[in-house]
Amino acid sequence: MLLDSPLAIVDLETTGAHPVHDRVTEVAVIEVEGGEVRDEWSTLVNPECAIPGAIQALTGITNDMVAGAPTFARLAAGLHERLAGRVLVAHNARFDYGFLRQEFARAGLEFRAKTLCTVKLSRRLYPEHARHNLDSVIARHGLECRARHRALGDADAVWQFLRLAAAQRGEEALAVAARQVAKQPSLPAHLDPAMVEAIPEAPGVYLLYGEGGTPLYVGKSIDMRARVLSHFADDLRSPRGMQLAREVRRVEWQRTAGELGALLREAELVKSLLPVFNRQLRRPAELCGFAFDAQRLRLVHDFDAEGIAHVYGLFRTRHAALGALRGLADAHGLCLQSLGFDTARKGACFRHQIGRCAGLCAGKESVHAHHARLAAALAALKTAAWPWRGPVGVVEEDARREATEVHVVNRWCYVGTARAEDEVAPLLEAARRPRFDLDQYRILTRHLRSKRARVMELACTAS
């Protein structure tokens, strides 16, 4: 039964909502064993930064109150020991667990725990109610809260809710609901749990291998560990997903500073390893687009990084390119026969007869008018111009500020990632001969158009 398990009912007060940038100001732990409270503990924490006025008003914890309190680093070892081996129970457990992970990491300690979120538990046990925040739970069940928005008062309210839920719904129903909420994945017997346990809750790519080292799948996530575990979730329903879970024998991972690095590395690994279960990002059979010059439209293939500046549209296959052209022709009344992309016949083309061609083939408009409309239609497909003189470095910092990566890019081509200054020069040499990749082009154009992109010009000589 759930209440027989060793529990740590936890509540934190913080300077804000973001565990990376904000800090803990108060922590409380109620230790439960055999359904009984073994110990209650709480303390104010010096966040080593100012508490915003709105937070002071909400919690009643002021800068003066925490000035003489211990820092989290001083408390870390004792708190880590207090939480060890217990299920961490909290209302919105993701919030509290995320803050604890970050604070312990700053103190040089790794912290992992099974968690139980009582917000989700309340939704599961009392689905007839719309609201499940702590204020609503307290009011609905008539709980007593000795001090709302203070750590120990809120933790005690959560403990009261657990006991009341067990009494109202039964301990067995409570335990079943807790398991359903937790959705703890059960790893296949043939996969070493230590291999998965070692995966950090950080951005990066992960590689799943089968028997004999066969690459099965390459994935990316801003939380690799959670994403890998999701492959083995009990509620997995996709036949393809279940087959992948059965075949996995080994897991490897590569950490990146952030999401951009993970996206670029995933695209690179999929094309080099060709994993069995990756359908997207596979090496395209052919890359093609349209060129419109000298009043002539033609389909072009095998263009290099410099050539894409003169191409309209980038397509994985000829079939996809022609499909896009037909869509433009329908929308703008273009004559595919006159352009050489439809069966030649005397007089008006079939598309004109059914009202899809404005009639260049029937002499109803001039070539200049038709081609002006064609140029306007193609403008929407124009590839992005490279706005820098040469290669650039796209800077990405680790969310925990532990590392910085510089992704070297030239003419929309990803060259590689430097994690130290001496790694930049070899990448600049390689940037002289960049290799174009459609998936990386799309990743980079999307990122570099965003306001969060940090770019520095590296050199002009490689352009």
205 part of a folded domain: yes
Residues 6+ apart with CB under 8 A from 209: 215, 216, 248, 249, 250, 251, 252
β-sheet bridge partners, residue 46: 71
**Site of tokens 């004999």:** 212
Nearest to 61 by CA among 93, 14, 96, 19: 14
Query: 84 and 148: one domain?
Result: yes
Domain boundary among the residues 273, 304, 328 is at 273
Query: 202 and 338: one domain?
Result: no
Report the percent of the chain where pLDDT is more than 90. 57
The pLDDT value given to residue 462: 42
**For residue 206, what is the domain's CATH number?**
3.40.1440.10
Query: 83 and 148: one domain?
Result: yes
Tell me the one-letter amino acid at 385.
A
Nearest to 358 by CA among 328, 332, 380, 383: 332
Question: Quick one: which H or E segment has residue 427?
Answer: helix 424-430
Query: 206 and 118: one domain?
Result: no
- Distances in whole angstroms, Cα of residue 130 to Cα of each of 78, 119, 164, 448, 461: 39, 12, 19, 41, 62
Query: 334 and 203: one domain?
Result: no
Query: 302 and 254: one domain?
Result: no
Query: 19 and 158: one domain?
Result: yes
The pLDDT value given to residue 240: 81
Report the percent of the chain where pLDDT is more than 70. 93
CA trace torsion 183, 188, 189, 195 (10° rounding): -90
Query: Environment class of residue 204 by beta-carbon count within 10 Å: exposed (0-12), middle (13-18) or buried (19+)?
Result: buried
C-alpha to C-alpha distance for 1 and 142, rounded to whole angstroms:
25
pLDDT at residue 300 greater than cutoff 80: yes
15 part of a folded domain: yes
Band (64; pLDDT cuts 50, 70, 90): very high
Query: 54 and 81: one domain?
Result: yes
pLDDT digits (tens, 9 = 90+) for 158-177: 999 999 999 999 999 998 89
pLDDT digits (tens, 9 = 90+) for 359-405: 999 999 999 999 999 999 999 888 888 888 889 999 998 866 567 89
Domain boundary among the residues 152, 182, 212 is at 182
74 part of a folded domain: yes
Q: Is the CB of residue 138 less than 8 Å from the CB of residue 157?
A: yes
pTM as predicted? 0.60
279 part of a folded domain: no
Band (284; pLDDT cuts 50, 70, 90): low
Q: Is the CB of residue 78 less than 8 Å from the CB of residue 37?
A: no
How many structural domains compose the chain? 4
C-alpha to C-alpha distance for 24 and 48, rounded to whole angstroms:
9
CB atoms within 10 A of CB 51: 22
Band (463; pLDDT cuts 50, 70, 90): very low
**For residue 169, what is the domain's CATH number?**
3.30.420.10
Query: 91 and 147: one domain?
Result: yes
* Catalytic one of 91, 149, 371, 447: 149
Distant-in-sequence contacts of 154-159, Cβ < 8 A, 24+ apart: 154/11, 154/28, 154/91, 155/9, 155/10, 155/11, 155/28, 155/29, 155/30, 155/42, 156/30, 156/40, 158/9, 158/11, 158/89, 158/90, 158/91, 158/118, 158/134, 159/9, 159/30, 159/32, 159/37
Token pair, residue 162, equals 């657990």
Measured between its terminal Cα atoms, the distance across the chain in Å is 66
C-alpha to C-alpha distance for 390 and 411, rounded to whole angstroms:
8
Query: 95 and 19: one domain?
Result: yes
188 part of a folded domain: no
The question of whether 149 is a catalytic residue gets the answer: yes
233 part of a folded domain: yes
CA angle, 100 as apex, 98 and 106 as ends, to 5°?
Answer: 105
What's the domain range around 163? Answer: 2-182
Residue-by-residue DSSP string for 249-268: -EEEEEE-SSHHHHHHHHHH
pLDDT at residue 316 greater than cutoff 90: no
Token pair, residue 240, equals 């393809």
C-alpha to C-alpha distance for 342 and 188, rounded to whole angstroms:
55
111 part of a folded domain: yes
